[in-house]
Amino acid sequence: MWNSAILSWLHIAMEATATLAFALSGLLEASRKKLDPVGVCIVTGLAAFGGGTLRDVLLDRRPFVWVAHAQWLWVLLALCIGAMFFLRTRHLEVTERAMQWPDAIGLGLFSASGTQLALAQGLPAIVAVLMGVITAAFGGVLRDIVCNEIPRALHDHSPYAVCAFVGGWVLVGATALGWPPEAAMATAAVVGAGLRVIVLWKGISLPRWDG
Amino acid sequence: MWNSAILSWLHIAMEATATLAFALSGLLEASRKKLDPVGVCIVTGLAAFGGGTLRDVLLDRRPFVWVAHAQWLWVLLALCIGAMFFLRTRHLEVTERAMQWPDAIGLGLFSASGTQLALAQGLPAIVAVLMGVITAAFGGVLRDIVCNEIPRALHDHSPYAVCAFVGGWVLVGATALGWPPEAAMATAAVVGAGLRVIVLWKGISLPRWDG
Amino acid sequence: MWNSAILSWLHIAMEATATLAFALSGLLEASRKKLDPVGVCIVTGLAAFGGGTLRDVLLDRRPFVWVAHAQWLWVLLALCIGAMFFLRTRHLEVTERAMQWPDAIGLGLFSASGTQLALAQGLPAIVAVLMGVITAAFGGVLRDIVCNEIPRALHDHSPYAVCAFVGGWVLVGATALGWPPEAAMATAAVVGAGLRVIVLWKGISLPRWDG
């Protein structure tokens, strides 16, 4: 009982931290692009919730996270307004490096949860894994599209979606082996996040295609 | 009876005028970008109906306005073909200035109606207001994304979404106070549109973020 | 019996060939844009299935083609990995010219099937035809948006969506005349594809708008 309360609290804390990391990536890009305050809020929200929302539209699931937990919209609004008052781009760039670690946690958590939601709908494994990848990586893709950039996830050669992809397959495998859902989720999230940490730490990059 | 018929007719006339104003913003951008006739029609349609359609996809509502009133698609097609025969970009630029006023009406009307549709689904107030902003402002955002620009609404520092945001909160407040829906809608629309008119008239702009 | 088995096989073979042609257009654009392997897979998948998926989101239909036939995702993954190992951009450019013909088949088939799906939902004719156009042309539009280009379909003056539009109306007309669905579909697909072949063969282009 007591243990499970701690675990549940830990899960919520990690998810909140990871969502903030995603949001800050939007805040930083909005600042670099010299967007106005409206643009800052929209791009920040898109980076934080775009991936999960796109997944839910594709899976025809409602309510979205930011509808079920609408207080998050207030948190993001406060974050954006606070940042515009107190921060400069260089502060955010320092933050960006620090944010790589919670961002890796987000990659692991959100790819595992996206994959599990799709498996629970009875979708094929490859589709479920793709939904995990979309949850983890497409907030950033939408953020970059709106900011008129080729999405970083598609051309920076740093394995991100690939780590989410592997994490998703771990969940599929563990589920097929009959593991309890919590154990399967935790393992998949740790593998996804761990791979990303190794990627960042060792500076691993994807092979180039000399097309 | 007679009064309500006039009001209803007035409402339809304002909505049609505002939709045309949105459509013309798409026509003008398509012309500036030298799109071909297919691009002109698609960008015009996106500017006119993109915001409401995105809201309806998010709220899982059907039918879309342009499905329930499919004659609008013929009107837009005729508008685009007529414009390509008879207009030059400079005509459209003159029109753009004139169109700011019906566009402000659209901002008021569509933010109020988008907010109300979301409230009627029992969504939280902040989500409902966001849906109003999406209805009013995201046709233009989609228009600019397709034309490979950073959306004007996110970086031109002219309060647009902000006026829609305030209008939406007026609707939420009036509804919470138990006003009749027509009165709440009308007040919210007038406040949203009126703020935009003041913004244009006084040349008010959003604060800069020296990020 | 025997005839209908051949026809059904022929239909599947044509649809598969056309989907591959769409996928290759994504592969080529990803290669030109120097995307990384993740970007190659995502843009290829978007070009292959983006149009049908957008149509299904708008029509609120599930499952998507790539969910019902998830083996296609494996085929695309294998195609992308194989291409990155064995192909160069110049190979793909040769392929692109050869791919114009199966791409024209895709235009005909997918505009006819998209139009028919919408008619079967009881939607107005103009909306149904638009759904056919979206099915045939919007995979390419999404591919180009993600690659940070103005979509080719909107500004290259080569009639593509227009051929899909005419094919859609042929289906609407044949259905209104009470033709059996197979005959209506086949005729519409042949007209749409045939028009595109004539366009490519004669080098027909859309009129310019000296805006």
Count contacts between A and B (CB, < 8 Å). Answer: 76
Nearest CA in chain C to B44: C154
Averaged confidence pLDDT in chain B: 92
Q: Which residue of C has its CA nearest to A123?
A: C67
- Inspect the interface and report whether the beta carbons of B155 and A36 lie closer than 8 Å: yes
Number of CB pairs < 8 Å for B and C?
A: 76
Q: Which of C46, C67, C75 to mutate to test the interface with A (most CBs of A within 10 A)?
A: C67
Chain B nearest C-alpha distance from A91 (Å): 9
* B124–A67 CB contact, under 8 Å: yes
Structure tokens that stand for B124 in this block = 């939280």
Per CB-CB distance under 8 Å, the chain B contacts of A74 are 126
Confidence check: pLDDT of A1 > 90: no
pLDDT lower than 50: segments of chain C: none
CA distance, residue C67 to nearest chain A CA (Å): 6
Q: Please give the mean pLDDT across all residues of chain A.
A: 92
Count CA within 13 A, CB hemisphere, residue B170: 26
CB contact (8 A) between residue A38 and residue B124: no
Q: Would you call B151 and A39 a contact, using CB atoms and an 8 Å cutoff?
A: yes
**pLDDT, tens digit, 9 for 90 and up, residues B60-111:** 999 999 999 999 999 999 999 999 888 877 777 777 788 888 899 999 999 9
- The band of B2, judged by pLDDT with boundaries at 50, 70 and 90, is low
Q: Test A146 with B150 for CB contact under 8 angstroms.
A: yes
Selected residue with higher pLDDT from A12 and C107: C107
Could you tell me which of A194, A168, A184 has the C-alpha nearest to residue A55? A168
Against chain B, the chains showing at least 3 CB pairs within 8 Å are A, C
Residue C208 Cα, gap to closest chain B Cα (Å):
7
Half-sphere exposure in the Cβ direction for C20 (13 Å, CA): 17
Yes or no, beta carbons of B35 and C150 under 8 Å apart? yes
Cross-chain Cβ contact A206/C84 below 8 Å: no
Whole-number pLDDT of residue B97: 80
- Is the minimum CB–CB distance between C16 and chain A shorter than 8 Å? no
Range with lowest mean pLDDT among A131-135, B12-16, B142-146:
B12-16
Chains contacting C (3 or more CB pairs within 8 Å): A, B
In SS3 terms, chain B reads as CHHHHHHHHHHHHHHHHHHHHHHHHHHHHHHHCCCCHHHHHHHHHHHHHHHHHHHHHHHCCCCCHHHHCCHHHHHHHHHHHHHHHHCCHHHHHHHHHHHHHHHHHHHHHHHHHHHHHHHHCCCCHHHHHHHHHHHHHHHHHHHHHHCCCCCHHHHCCCCCHHHHHHHHHHHHHHHHCCCCHHHHHHHHHHHHHHHHHHHHHHCCCCCCCCC
Rounded to 5°, the CA angle A86-A91-A95 comes to: 115
The pLDDT of residue A12 is 84
Contacts made by residues A28-33, CB under 8 angstroms, sequence distance 24+:
A28/A89, A28/A92, A28/A93, A28/A95, A28/A96, A29/A143, A29/A144, A29/A147, A29/A149, A30/A147, A30/B154, A31/A83, A31/A87, A31/A89, A31/A92, A31/B209, A31/B211, A32/A89, A32/B211, A33/A147, A33/A148, A33/B150, A33/B155
pTM of this structure? 0.95
pLDDT at position C194 is 97
- The CA distance from B54 to the nearest CA of chain A, in Å, is 11
Determine whether C149 is exposed, middle or buried from the number of CB atoms within 10 Å of its CB (0-12, 13-18, 19+). middle
C86 touching A (Cβ < 8 Å) = no
| pLDDT one-digit tens code per residue, C175-204 | 999 999 989 999 999 999 999 999 999 999
Calculate the CA C93 to chain-centre distance.
19
B126 touches chain C (CB under 8 A): no
User: pLDDT of A71-121, one tens digit each?
Assistant: 999 999 999 999 988 877 777 777 777 888 889 999 999 999 999 999 999
Q: Which of residues 152-211 of A touch B (CB under 8 A)?
A: none
From the list C145, C161, C211, the residue facing B146 with the nearest CB is C145
